C-alpha cells in the first residue's frame, strides 16, 4: 500500500544523567540514526488501523473511543498516545498504516519513540500543531499514565529535541535545555550499541521500585530535618539540598542512601561531562560515563549480570573512551563511545569475551554502530 506520510522517530542514547530524570535531575543525550518508522494515511472516519513489522497482530480502534483498558500488546502504545492527546484535543480523524523498528528492543527507548511517532501522526491527521515540548509532555503522559512507567522525560526529550552532532543537556526540573556543539578538539568517536541478547519490559522490571526508593530517600531526609513534606508523587530528590543529604545519610536505611548518592553524584558528573564535551575532552567525557555506570551498579543497583559483564569487558578495552548501561539498565543494551580506528578490535574483543561467558545468547547478542541525528520528523519519501 502507498502511504502519504512518513515519520522517523529516532531512538536515544544517554551518556550521562541516568536514572535521575524522574527525580528532576540533569540529563544529557543524543537522538541516534536508528529508530522507528511510521508510514500512514489519514482516515476521515476516525478509524485507526495499524500493522507492525516487528510484532504480530493488527491493531484497530477508533479515535473517539474513551476506553483506558490495556491489552498487553503493542497496540497499547497506539491507544496510549491517543489517550494522552485526547485529554487536550478533540480527535476526529484516524490513521491507517505500518510501523517498524530498526533495532532489537531493550534500552534505547523504543517505547518513547513509538509514542512520539503516534502523537505526531494523530496530531497531523487532526490539524493540531504541537511544539516539541508539547510532544514530549503528551508522549510522556501516555507512558506514565497509560503504560504505567513512572519515568521522567529524558527519552522523549532526546527523541524530540536531538540535533545531529550536538549533545542535549537538559534540566528536567526547569525544562531548560541546550544543544551543545562539541569542542573543536574532541576526538572522533562512534557509538556502539551492544545488545546483551535479553529483552524486557520496564513495567515489569524494578524501575518503578527504584523511583519509589528515591522518593522515600527524599522523604527520610526531610523528615529527619523536620522539614515539611509533600505527597510522595510530588517529592523529588532535586528539591532536597545536598547538605541535607550529607547531614542525614548515615541515619537513613543504607539502600535509600545509595539511591540518593547516585542522584547527587550523577548531578556532578553531568555538569563535568558537559564541560568536557564543550572543551573537547573525550577522555574525560568517557571516564565520567564509566563512573556513571559504576554508580548505576553500586548505588542504584540496576544492571543484569549480562550487562555488567559487557561493561566489565569494555571498561579497560583499548579504543573505548567510555561506556555504560543504556537506559534503565535492566537487561537490554550497553552503549560505548569508541575510537573509530579501533572499531574492529573492540567489536571482536567484546563479542569473543561475552559469548565465552554467555554462549546461550549467540543468536540474540549483537553490536550495532550508530551516529547522532536530528529529532523526530516527517520525511519526504
Give me the least distance between CB of 22 and ligand GLA, in Å please. Answer: 6
Does the annotation mark 127 as catalytic?
no
Catalytic residue among 21, 155, 233, 239: 155
State the SS3 of the chain. CCCCEEEEEEEEECCCCCCCHHHCCEEEEEEEEEEEEEEEEEECCCEEEEEECCCCCCEEEECCCCCCCCCCCCHHHHHHHHHHHHCCCCCCCEEEEEEEECCCCCCCCHHHHHHHHHHHHHHHHCCCCCCHHHHHHHHHHHHHHHHCCCCCCHHHHHHHHCCCCCEEEEECCCCCEEEECCCCCCCCCEEEEEECCCCCCHHHCCHHHHHHHHHHHHHHHHHHCCCCCCCHHHCCHHHCCHHHHHHHCCCCCHHHHHHHHHHHHHHHHHHHHHHHHHCCCHHHHHHHHHHHHHHHHHHHCCCCHHHHHHHHHHHCCCCEEEEEECCCCCCCEEEEEECHHHHHHHHHHHHHHHHHHCHHHCCCCEEEEECEECCCEECCC
Of all residues in this chain, which one has the CB nearest to ligand GLA in the complex? 151
Query: Any contact of residue 19 with ligand GLA (CB under 6 A)?
Result: yes
Query: Any contact of residue 76 with ligand GLA (CB under 6 A)?
Result: no
80 vs 327 by CB, closer to ligand GLA? 327
172 vs 373 by CB, closer to ligand GLA? 172
Residues of span 148-187 touching ligand GLA by CB under 6 A: 151-152, 154-155
17 vs 286 by CB, closer to ligand GLA? 17
Give me the least distance between CB of 222 and ligand GLA, in Å please. Answer: 23
Query: Any contact of residue 14 with ligand GLA (CB under 6 A)?
Result: yes
102 vs 110 by CB, closer to ligand GLA? 110
Member of 7, 9, 13, 18 binding ligand GLA (CB under 6 A) = 18
Query: Any contact of residue 22 with ligand GLA (CB under 6 A)?
Result: yes
Member of 327, 335, 367, 372 binding ligand GLA (CB under 6 A) = 327
Give me the least distance between CB of 311 and ligand GLA, in Å please. Answer: 15
Give me the least distance between CB of 104 and ligand GLA, in Å please. Answer: 15
Residues of span 187-246 touching ligand GLA by CB under 6 A: none
Residues of span 85-124 touching ligand GLA by CB under 6 A: 109
**Residues in touch with ligand GLA (CB under 6 A):** 14, 18-19, 21-22, 109, 151-152, 154-155, 327-328
Q: Which residues are designated catalytic?
A: 155
Amino acid at each position: 500500500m502507498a502511504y502519504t506520510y512518513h515519520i522517523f522517530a529516532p531512538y536515544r542514547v544517554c551518556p550521562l544523567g541516568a536514572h535521575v530524570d524522574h527525580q528532576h535531575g540533569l540529563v544529557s543525550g543524543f537522538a541516534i540514526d536508528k529508530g522507528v518508522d511510521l508510514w500512514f494515511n489519514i482516515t476521515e472516519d476516525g478509524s485507526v488501523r495499524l500493522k507492525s513489522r516487528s510484532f504480530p497482530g493488527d491493531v484497530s480502534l477508533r479515535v473517539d473511543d474513551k476506553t483506558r483498558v490495556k491489552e498487553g500488546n503493542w497496540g497499547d502504545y497506539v491507544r496510549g498516545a491517543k489517550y494522552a492527546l485526547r485529554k487536550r484535543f478533540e480527535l476526529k480523524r484516524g490513521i491507517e498504516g505500518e510501523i517498524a523498528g530498526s533495532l532489537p528492543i531493550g534500552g534505547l527507548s523504543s517505547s518513547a519513540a513509538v509514542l512520539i511517532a503516534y502523537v505526531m501522526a494523530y496530531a497531523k491527521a487532526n490539524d493540531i500543531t504541537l511544539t516539541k515540548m508539547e510532544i514530549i509532555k503528551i508522549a510522556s503522559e501516555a507512558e506514565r499514565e497509560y503504560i504505567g512507567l513512572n519515568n521522567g522525560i529524558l527519552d522523549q526529550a532526546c527523541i524530540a529535541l536531538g540535533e545531529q552532532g550536538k549533545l542535549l543537556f537538559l534540566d528536567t526540573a526547569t525544562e531548560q535545555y541546550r544543544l551543545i556543539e562539541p569542542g573543536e578538539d574532541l576526538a572522533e568517536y562512534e557509538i556502539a550499541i551492544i545488545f546483551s541478547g535479553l529483552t524486557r519490559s520496564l513495567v515489569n522490571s524494578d524501575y518503578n521500585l527504584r523511583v519509589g526508593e528515591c522518593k522515600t530517600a527524599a522523604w527520610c531526609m526531610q523528615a529527619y530535618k523536620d522539614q515539611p513534606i509533600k505527597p510522595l508523587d510530588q517529592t523529588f530528590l532535586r528539591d532536597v539540598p545536598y547538605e541535607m543529604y550529607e547531614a542525614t545519610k548515615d541515619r537513613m536505611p543504607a539502600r535509600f542512601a545509595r539511591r540518593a548518592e547516585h542522584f547527587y553524584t550523577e548531578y556532578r558528573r553531568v555538569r563535568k561531562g558537559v564541560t568536557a564535551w564543550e572543551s573537547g575532552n573525550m577522555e574525560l567525557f568517557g571516564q565520567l560515563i564509566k563512573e556513571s555506570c559504576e554508580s548505576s551498579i553500586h548505588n542504584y543497583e540496576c544492571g543484569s549480570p549480562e550487562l555488567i559483564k559487557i561493561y566489565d569487558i569494555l571498561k579497560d578495552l583499548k579504543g573505548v573512551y567510555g561506556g555504560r548501561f543504556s537506559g534503565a539498565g535492566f537487561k537490554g543494551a550497553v552503549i560505548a563511545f569508541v575510537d573509530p580506528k579501533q572499531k574492529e578490535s573492540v567489536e571482536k574483543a567484546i563479542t569473543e569475551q561475552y559469548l565465552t561467558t554467555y554462549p546461550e545468547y549467540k543468536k540474540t547478542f549483537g553490536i550495532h554502530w550508530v551516529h547522532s541525528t536530528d529529532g523526530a520528523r516527517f520525511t519526504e519519501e
